[in-house]
A and B are shown apart, each in its own frame.
Chain A
Amino acid sequence: MRGLRLISFIMTRLLQAIPVVLGVVVLNFLLLQLAPGDAATVLAGEAGGAPPEYVEQLRARFGLDKPVLVQLGLYLKNILLLDLGFSFRNNAPVLGLILDRLWPTLLLMGATLVVSVGGGVMLGVIAALGVRTWRDHLISVAAVIAYATPLFWIGLMLILVFSIRLDWFPTSGMEDVVAFHEGWARVADIAHHLVLPTITLSLFYLALYTRLMRATVLEQRGAEYATTARAKGLTERTITLRHVLRNALLPVITMAGVQVGALLGGSVVVETVFAWPGLGQLAYQSLFARDFNLLLGIFFLSACLVVIVNIIVDVVYVLLDPRIRVGGKA
């Protein structure tokens, strides 16, 4: 019974998601129309100046000479056919450009999520178990320092120390472009390049999850069920690890779900510092180049991704906390 409801819940959510995703596309499309300047001007500007005929040629080629609503209609029609259009600036189909960047993005995102959620939960519990002891203070202060230090600074310092001084890791990039390793050597090479960017990006989220975990664990320990368990004579440690942890995971998972979208764009700085070929950088560059087909494509993809992650988060809620009803009629 519960399994059936779960499936119908997922289906409903997926159906509901279609208008959301389309809405995102329309909203962003219109918002981008407000941005002054267009792709033709930027391209001509990069080219170091161009005659007006040339700029007009570009506009006609990009379809920028058509009315906005016609452009929007065409775009929506194509989106429904899963055709994300053509990036004139890059002279390549949008879908291909995005897919090329997708796996480095997922790699960095995945590594970061594992390190930050795993580490955050662990440190948060350690801090909460020893509330107001030196362990708690140390973890809390370290977390805030990690949280408050600008990402680019951490990144550059890591490069200075671990790459230039100690020569343990490469400064940047995803693989060695002189050697061009293959097979397992390439996997190892990419993993080697992944270390510094993952640490940099994780520190911020690690701090966030540590603090959230500590706060909720402390709160949950005051809940009735914990008191009951305490009355049964269970130790504080057992209560926390057996009962509290499961409930305290809820806000952390919410946060992690929320941050998938943010991670996609928020890694711009880290991707830039470590020259990691991810989607964040691509989005940033396409905005300033007014390459709207590409930017809308990234927004579309990120919308799909977040919708899926949110559904997963809601399902995880149900599994963790049976009191929450699926589908939610009061």
Chain B
Amino acid sequence: MRLVRRLVVVAGLGLTAISLAGLPALAQKRGGTLVQITQPEPPTLGSYVSTANPVGQVASKIYDGLLEYDFDLKPLPSLAESWTVAEDGKTVTFKLRAGVKFHDGKPFTSADVQYTFMDVLKKVHPRGINTFAEVTAVETPDPQTAIFRLNRPAPYMMAALSGYESPILPKHVFSQGDIRTHQNANSPVGTGPFKFVEWRRGEFVRLDRNADYWKPGLPYLDRIVVRFIGDTGTRAAALEKGEAHIAGFGAVPYNDVKKLEKLPNIQIVTKGYEMLSPVVELMFNTKKAPFDNAKVRQAISYAIDRKFVIDNIWFGFGKPTNGPISSNFAPTGLYSADVTNYNVPDGVERANKLLDEAGFPRKADGIRFEITHDITPYGEEWRRFGEYTQQALAKIGIKANLRYEDVATWLKRIYTDYDYDVSSNHLFNLADPVLGVHRAFHSRFIRPGTVFVNGVRWSTPQTDELMDRATIEPDAKKRAALYAEVQKIVVDQAPLAWTHEISFATVLDKRYRDVIVSPLGLFSSFDRAWRE
């Protein structure tokens, strides 16, 4: 085995240095309870079988991952003290931390890593099935070493090893019985800073401090209670009154966030979503007339006034865009602004011209054609976005009838039956375009019955090939060039009209410090959070 050390991070002492860097001069204090609002209540706490947003917000306090990440998405040591990637990219060796104990007192070893990746994440984790598809084996030469063997290089894998995305499970607990219905899903055992105590359905999950946590002196907080409050107004009231201390992911409506920001006891944090990067898109059924015509799709993209949408529907928490890759990837070079700009002042005229050219003249009543717009069933701002789209389309002579169905029905219509004209959605870019962007327009992702993939059923051999090459390209510059080309093509062809990036906001009680310290925000462990 010829390992070439390309990237080595030796931690141990380094860890304390990292965790202390950039902290204010205030002395951290032990004690206190943090009340977090998570919406909706998670269906399970098994973050190894469900990547649902609320599951991650709770489970990430209980499970650690092999790695953590800084705000530039660079990996940091966690359960893995150091790691090396072989030059061919097909072997990754992790050196594991010694002396780490699970909440039940049993030691953490390489056998747990092997079990977690080979028997759980690769088999039942919704995204893990893709992310770790290339992993053929995890070898365990000794309890502190885990060697990943890969079929082909998978550089994106290194971005998916956080405690949120790939939680490390205790083999001795989960290997008995069926992992999918395991009783410990809802009474989780991990190595994280907080231990699971109780889940009272419809009310709260209680997590108490793990006194034996492997980071010396951490965590600072005594307890985290995750509360579930169904009503948006009440959530805002609980935060205002100080009964709850943190809420993110649009749990508080954007207009209320603005209002809460003015209160003396509350601050708004927009950091902590860098590994998610949601981009809002209008979806066109590209296999159905008239949306098989690129000009029609481009016209609609021109008709959307991004500023109006961001100002009046997302109340300023957004950023106009044209392409699928979020500007959060600018530091890594994967984001490209060299694409068609649909966000222009004369958008409506351009749209009208395109539609005339496409052969859809206005009839006597001023209408070119009639379509149905399916509203995204994810809450008020999406309804308003649907109603706004209806009005924007009316301006260019397209009569849109609105249809509103519940989540299950809508998912089936868009991603199984393809029985729609236009709808909207927002896909997370996640930690890498391979994980979050390819799915929207790669032909491999035209899969009836699978949600949040290529529901527009658009693809070209050219873009497929570019994305396939980018998947395994180890050189960052070359990879960026490949993605620049992909972005140029898909933005021009507009199988989806990307309108804006959502900037989620976290509402945070000012008495709590060092809560949002990673690009995973609410999906991180809060081990360094403390209360004044």
* A and B, direct touch (CB closer than 8 Å): yes
* Chain A 142-186 residues near chain B, CB threshold 8 A: 152, 155-156, 159-160, 163-164, 167, 170-174, 177-178, 180
Q: Are B124 and A282 in contact (CB under 8 A)?
A: no
Q: A171 touches which one: B130, B237, B413 (CB < 8 A)?
A: B237
Q: Are B181 and A61 in contact (CB under 8 A)?
A: yes
- Decide yes or no whether B330 CB sits under 8 A from chain A: no
A17 to B407, CA, bound (A): 35
Cβ-closest chain A residue relative to B41: A285
A178-B35 CB under 8 A given contacts A35-B409, A172-B229: yes
* Chain A 43-74 residues near chain B, CB threshold 8 A: 43-55, 57, 61
- Decide yes or no whether B356 CB sits under 8 A from chain A: no
Which residues of A sit under 8 angstroms from B405, Cβ to Cβ?
36
Q: Are A164 and B240 in contact (CB under 8 A)?
A: yes
- Decide yes or no whether B371 CB sits under 8 A from chain A: no
- Decide yes or no whether B52 CB sits under 8 A from chain A: yes
* Chain B 157-212 residues near chain A, CB threshold 8 A: 180-181, 185-186, 200-204, 206
Q: Are A171 and B234 in contact (CB under 8 A)?
A: yes
How many pairs of residues, A versus B, come closer than 8 Å at their CB atoms?
Answer: 187
- Decide yes or no whether A278 CB sits under 8 A from chain B: yes
Q: Mark B448-479, 1 if CB is under 8 A from A, else 0.
A: 11111100000000000000000000000000
A128 to chain B, nearest CB (A): 37
- Decide yes or no whether A92 CB sits under 8 A from chain B: yes
Cβ-closest chain B residue relative to A179: B33
Q: B230 touches which one: A41, A86, A281 (CB < 8 A)?
A: A281
- Decide yes or no whether A221 CB sits under 8 A from chain B: no
Q: Are B52 and A47 in contact (CB under 8 A)?
A: yes
A90-B129 CB under 8 A given contacts A41-B411, A172-B234: no
Q: A48 touches which one: B127, B200, B201, B238 (CB < 8 A)?
A: B127
Q: B451 touches which one: A50, A86, A274 (CB < 8 A)?
A: A50
Which residues of A sit under 8 angstroms from B289, Cβ to Cβ?
none
Q: A44 touches which one: B33, B126, B201 (CB < 8 A)?
A: B126
The size class of the interface chain A forms with chain B is 35 or more
Q: B231 touches which one: A61, A90, A152 (CB < 8 A)?
A: A152
Which residues of B sit under 8 angstroms from A97, Cβ to Cβ?
201
A272-B43 CB under 8 A given contacts A42-B408, A51-B130, A177-B225: no
The size class of the interface chain B forms with chain A is 35 or more
B251 to chain A, nearest CB (A): 12
A170-B243 CB under 8 A given contacts A48-B428, A52-B449, A272-B230: yes
Which residues of A sit under 8 angstroms from B43, Cβ to Cβ?
43, 46, 89-91, 289
Q: Which of A49, A101, A271, A282 has the most CB of B within 10 A?
A: A49
A156-B233 CB under 8 A given contacts A49-B451, A89-B43, A163-B241: yes
- Decide yes or no whether A189 CB sits under 8 A from chain B: no
Q: Are A44 and B451 in contact (CB under 8 A)?
A: yes
Q: Mark A173-208, 1 if CB is under 8 A from B, else 0.
A: 110011010000000000000000000000000000
- Decide yes or no whether A290 CB sits under 8 A from chain B: yes
Q: B186 touches which one: A53, A92, A282 (CB < 8 A)?
A: A92
- Decide yes or no whether B412 CB sits under 8 A from chain A: yes
Q: Are B129 and A53 in contact (CB under 8 A)?
A: yes
Q: Are A164 and B409 in contact (CB under 8 A)?
A: no
A183 to B186, CA, bound (A): 27
Interface residues of B (CB under 8 A from A): 33, 35, 40-41, 43-44, 46, 50-53, 124, 126-127, 129-130, 180-181, 185-186, 200-204, 206, 225, 227-231, 233-234, 237-238, 240-241, 243, 405-413, 415-416, 428, 439, 447-453
**Can you list 28 contacts pairing A with B, beta carbon distance less than 8 Å?**
A37-B407, A41-B411, A41-B415, A42-B411, A43-B50, A47-B50, A47-B52, A48-B52, A49-B453, A55-B449, A57-B124, A90-B44, A100-B202, A159-B233, A160-B237, A163-B237, A171-B237, A172-B229, A174-B203, A178-B225, A272-B230, A275-B229, A275-B231, A277-B201, A281-B230, A282-B201, A288-B408, A289-B408
Known: A36-B413, A46-B52, A272-B231. 17 other contacts (CB 8 A): A37-B407, A44-B450, A45-B451, A46-B43, A47-B127, A48-B52, A49-B450, A54-B129, A55-B449, A101-B201, A159-B237, A167-B241, A177-B225, A272-B230, A273-B233, A281-B202, A282-B202
